[in-house]
Amino acid sequence: MTDDPTPIKRNFLYEAIDADIASGQVQGKIITRFPPEPNGYLHIGHTKAICINFGIAQHYNGQTHLRMDDTNPVKEEQEYIDAIQDDIRWLGFTWDRLCFASDYFEQLYDWAIVLIQKGHAYVDDQTVDQIRANRGNLTEPGTASPWRDRPIEESLDLFARMKAGEFPDGSRVLRAKINMADPNLVMRDPVLYRILHATHPRTGDTWCIYPMYDWAHGQSDWIEGITHSMCDISFEIHRPLYDWCINRLAEENAYPPGITYKTRQMEFARGNITTLITSKRKLLQLVTANHVTGWDDPRMPTLRGMRRRGYPAMAIRRFWEEAGVAKRENLIEFAKLESLIREELNRTVQRRMAILDPLKVIITNYPEDQIEQMSVINNPEDETAGRRDVPFSRELFIERSDFMEDPPRKFFRLGPGKEVRLRSAYWVTCTDVIKDDQGNVTELHCTYDPDTKGGKTPPDGRKVKGTLHWVSAAHALDAEVRIYDPLFLTENPEQVEEGKIFLDNLNPDSAKTLKNVKVEPALADTQSGDRFQFERTGYFCTDSDSTADKLVFNRTATLRDTWAKVQKQPNQQKQKQKKKQQQRSASPHKKD
Q: What are phi and psi of 85, to 5 degrees?
A: -65, -45
Q: Where are the alpha helices (DSSP H) in 225-369?
A: 239-251, 280-288, 303-309, 313-323, 334-348
Buried b (16+ CB within 10 A) or exposed e, 315-349: bbbbbbbebebeeeeeebeeeebbbbbbebbbeeb
Helix and strand element counts for the chain (H, E):
13, 25
DSSP 8-state code for residue 414 = B
Separation between Cα atoms, residue 29 and residue 61, nearest integer Å: 7
To RNA, the closest distance from the beta carbon of 85 in angstroms equals 17
Separation between Cα atoms, residue 383 and residue 396, nearest integer Å: 28
Active site residue 280: yes
Separation between Cα atoms, residue 14 and residue 439, nearest integer Å: 67
Residue placing its CB nearer to RNA in the complex, 197 or 545: 197
Of residues 302, 252, 529, the one with CA closest to residue 292: 302
To RNA, the closest distance from the beta carbon of 293 in angstroms equals 26
To RNA, the closest distance from the beta carbon of 5 in angstroms equals 13
Residue placing its CB nearer to RNA in the complex, 56 or 216: 216
Residue placing its CB nearer to RNA in the complex, 495 or 528: 495
Active site residue 270: yes
CA neighbours closer than 13 Å in the CB half-sphere of residue 428: 33
To RNA, the closest distance from the beta carbon of 260 in angstroms equals 26
* Surface-to-core class of residue 152, CB atoms within 10 Å of its CB (0-12 exposed, 13-18 middle, 19+ buried): middle
Q: Considering 37, 236, 443, 491, which one is annotated as catalytic?
A: 37
To RNA, the closest distance from the beta carbon of 440 in angstroms equals 21
To RNA, the closest distance from the beta carbon of 172 in angstroms equals 7
Q: Where are the alpha helices (DSSP H) in 349-457?
A: none
Cβ-based neighbour number of residue 462 at 10 Å: 11
Angle of the 44-59 helix axis to the 78-91 helix axis, nearest 10:
60
DSSP 8-state code for residue 586 = H
* Residue 367 backbone class (left: φ over 0; alpha: ψ -120 to 50; beta: rest): beta
Residue placing its CB nearer to RNA in the complex, 178 or 297: 178
To RNA, the closest distance from the beta carbon of 68 in angstroms equals 9
Q: Measured between alpha carbons, how far is residue 185 from residues 126, 241, 245 in Å?
A: 18, 10, 16
To RNA, the closest distance from the beta carbon of 284 in angstroms equals 13
Residue placing its CB nearer to RNA in the complex, 419 or 535: 535
Q: Where are the alpha helices (DSSP H) in 402-448?
A: none
Q: Considering 270, 400, 453, 536, which one is annotated as catalytic?
A: 270
Q: Considering 280, 282, 336, 400, which one is annotated as catalytic?
A: 280
Active site residue 37: yes
Of residues 550, 551, 552, 397, the one with CA closest to residue 484: 552
**Which residues are catalytic, by number?**
37, 270, 280
